[in-house]
């Protein structure tokens, strides 16, 4: 512990100093709001977002190290009088609450203020705060349930619990993909069926692939952002193809249809199920690595909430090591969905226009640095996707 002391002190100082700086910026903006930036520069915005992402990862590692190796034992001791089943959730919720208070300024500046300054959102601070508090509440509820279940398994099977957790992961992930679109997402936005000619064209397209009964919805994404997006979610009959109103309102019908065909590609190629397989494999690797690392310091493994915090720290390190692999798998699925959309619509030009419009509306770089794409990006660069469509497009006359 003595060797770790200076490193842990530096980690704690970094986390607290960064939080204090962001809290000052947030307070200053609330007193005298920053003006919106007039030059919507995708490169500057992308560079800023990458820097914040890297800083966020560093803060996450430093914050969890501080919790696991400085704060965990005193907090665990303070909670020792609670009944055994309550200690782990009380520990987790205490740390979540402390982190939420500490990072309130960080979240305000990096989730709300930055988007307002760059003109990608017109949300008020009050609206942002409402969504933020909902997110914190949902996260706390989910964390409490997961910790209670995990702690019960650890107590009953102290050596075999990682194997039990791995075996339980696929049904839990499948359950989450059913619950999230039905009960969680509507807490933040209103979802309505797509109607009219667009709905008919989407139904006709989906019907060609035997999925004409999929739920096709639009939601008021404009409440949070001007950016456009669409996604597919759900399994076991709960599948939904979801379009943001920012997409439906700003894109031409053939462009929207190409985007829908892309999302339909995920549905037809069973990408939600593939995501569950990949998620299970990643969690299995994280649990195995974290358990091995923890047992190097204590052969008993996870015997307390404090040891659970240290286990979480090692799992986080394993997660970061796996991230490039998972991002590569995601990019491969996105490229496959692009090819499906081209096959389904036979309209490369609509896809090219859709991707260019997506870049303009989302303030996205057409071609970010290669290292950033390899390490951080869940989608191929827009430039590479456009080039692939241009290669398949018939020559213009």
Question: Is residue 104 domain-resident?
Answer: yes
* Nearest-angstrom CA–CA distance, 154 and 304: 10
Question: Is residue 326 domain-resident?
Answer: no
Categorize the per-residue pLDDT at 50 as very low, low, confident or very high, splitting at 50, 70 and 90: very high
Categorize the per-residue pLDDT at 212 as very low, low, confident or very high, splitting at 50, 70 and 90: confident
Q: Tell me: pLDDT of 396 over 60.
A: no
Question: Is residue 102 domain-resident?
Answer: yes
Q: Which domain holds residue 24?
A: 5-156
Q: What is the count of structural domains for the chain?
A: 1
Question: Is residue 82 domain-resident?
Answer: yes
Over residues 134-154, mean pLDDT: 92
**Residues 287-339: tens digit of each pLDDT:** 999 999 998 887 677 888 999 999 999 999 999 999 999 999 999 999 999 99
Q: Tell me: pLDDT of 66 over 90.
A: yes
The pLDDT of residue 182: 81
Categorize the per-residue pLDDT at 207 as very low, low, confident or very high, splitting at 50, 70 and 90: confident
Residue among 304, 290, 298, 311 nearest 88 (CA): 304
Q: What b-and-e string marks burial along 138-171, b requiring 16 or more CB atoms within 10 Å of the CB?
A: eebeeebeebeebbebbeeeeeebbeebbeebee
Q: Mean pLDDT over all residues of the chain?
A: 91
Question: Is residue 269 domain-resident?
Answer: no
The strand pair at 240-244 and 215-219 is best described as parallel
Q: Tell me: pLDDT of 236 over 80.
A: no
* Nearest-angstrom CA–CA distance, 325 and 285: 12
Question: Is residue 328 domain-resident?
Answer: no
Where is 193: in which H helix or E strand? strand 191-193
Q: Tell me: pLDDT of 397 over 60.
A: no
The pLDDT of residue 313: 95
The pLDDT of residue 295: 87
Question: Is residue 214 domain-resident?
Answer: no
Kindly report the CA angle at 140 between 88 and 236, in degrees rounded to 5? 105
Kindly report the CA angle at 25 between 22 and 27, in degrees rounded to 5? 110
The pLDDT of residue 97: 95
The pLDDT of residue 179: 83
Categorize the per-residue pLDDT at 1 as very low, low, confident or very high, splitting at 50, 70 and 90: low
Q: Which residues are within 8 A (CB) of 394 and not within 5 positions of it... i.e. 6 or more apart?
A: 348
Q: Tell me: pLDDT of 262 over 90.
A: yes
Where is 297: in which H helix or E strand? none
Q: Tell me: pLDDT of 16 over 70.
A: yes
Residue among 63, 71, 66 nearest 91 (CA): 71
The pLDDT of residue 94: 95
* Nearest-angstrom CA–CA distance, 166 and 287: 8
**Residues 78-97: tens digit of each pLDDT:** 998 999 889 999 999 999 99
One-character DSSP codes across 209-259: TT-TTSEEEEE-GGGT-S---EEEE--TT--EEEEEHHHHHHS-HHHHHHH
Q: Tell me: pLDDT of 394 over 70.
A: no
User: Are the CB atoms for 233 and 181 separated by under 8 Å?
Assistant: yes
* Nearest-angstrom CA–CA distance, 327 and 27: 36
**Residues 158-197: tens digit of each pLDDT:** 888 999 999 999 998 888 888 888 888 899 999 999 888 8
Question: Is residue 87 domain-resident?
Answer: yes
Over residues 361-390, mean pLDDT: 94
The pLDDT of residue 180: 82
Residue among 243, 188, 186 nearest 214 (CA): 243
């Amino acid at each position: 512990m003595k060797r770790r002391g200076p490193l842990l002190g530096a980690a704690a100082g970094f986390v607290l100093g960064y939080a204090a700086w962001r809290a000052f910026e947030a307070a200053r903006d609330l007193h005298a709001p920053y003006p919106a930036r007039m030059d919507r520069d995708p490169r500057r915005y992308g560079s800023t977002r990458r820097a914040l992402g890297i800083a966020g990862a560093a803060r996450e590692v430093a914050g969890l190290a501080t919790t696991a190796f400085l704060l965990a034992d005193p907090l665990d001791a303070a909670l020792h009088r609670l009944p055994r089943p309550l200690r782990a959730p009380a520990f987790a919720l205490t740390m979540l609450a402390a982190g939420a208070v500490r990072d309130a300024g960080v979240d305000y500046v990096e989730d709300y203020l930055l988007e307002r300054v760059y003109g990608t959102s017109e949300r008020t601070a009050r609206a942002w705060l409402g969504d933020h508090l909902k997110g914190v509440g949902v996260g706390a509820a989910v964390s409490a349930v997961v910790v209670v279940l995990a702690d019960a398994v650890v107590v009953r099977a102290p050596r075999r619990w990682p194997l039990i957790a791995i075996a339980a992961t696929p049904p839990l992930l499948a359950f989450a993909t059913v619950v999230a679109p039905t009960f969680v997402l509507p807490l933040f936005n209103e979802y309505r069926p797509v109607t009219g000619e667009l709905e008919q064209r989407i139904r006709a397209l989906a019907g060609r692939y035997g999925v004409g009964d999929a739920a096709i919805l639009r939601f008021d994404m404009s409440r949070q952002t001007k950016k456009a997006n669409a996604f597919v979610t759900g399994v076991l009959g709960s599948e939904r193809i979801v379009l943001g109103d920012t997409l439906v309102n700003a894109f031409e019908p053939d462009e929207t249809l190409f985007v829908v065909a892309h999302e339909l590609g995920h549905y037809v190629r069973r990408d939600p199920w593939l995501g569950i397989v990949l998620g299970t494999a990643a969690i299995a690797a994280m649990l195995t690595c974290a358990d091995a690392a923890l047992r190097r310091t204590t052969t008993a493994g996870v015997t307390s909430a404090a040891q659970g915090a240290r286990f979480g720290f090692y799992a986080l390190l394993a997660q970061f090591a796996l991230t490039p692999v998972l991002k590569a798998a995601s990019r491969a699925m996105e490229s496959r969905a692009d090819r499906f959309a081209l096959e389904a619509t036979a309209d490369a030009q609509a896809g090219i226009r859709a991707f260019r419009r997506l870049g303009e509306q989302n303030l996205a770089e057409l071609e970010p640095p290669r290292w950033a794409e390899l390490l951080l990006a869940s989608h191929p660069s827009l430039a590479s996707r456009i080039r692939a469509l241009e290669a398949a497009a018939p020559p213009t006359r």
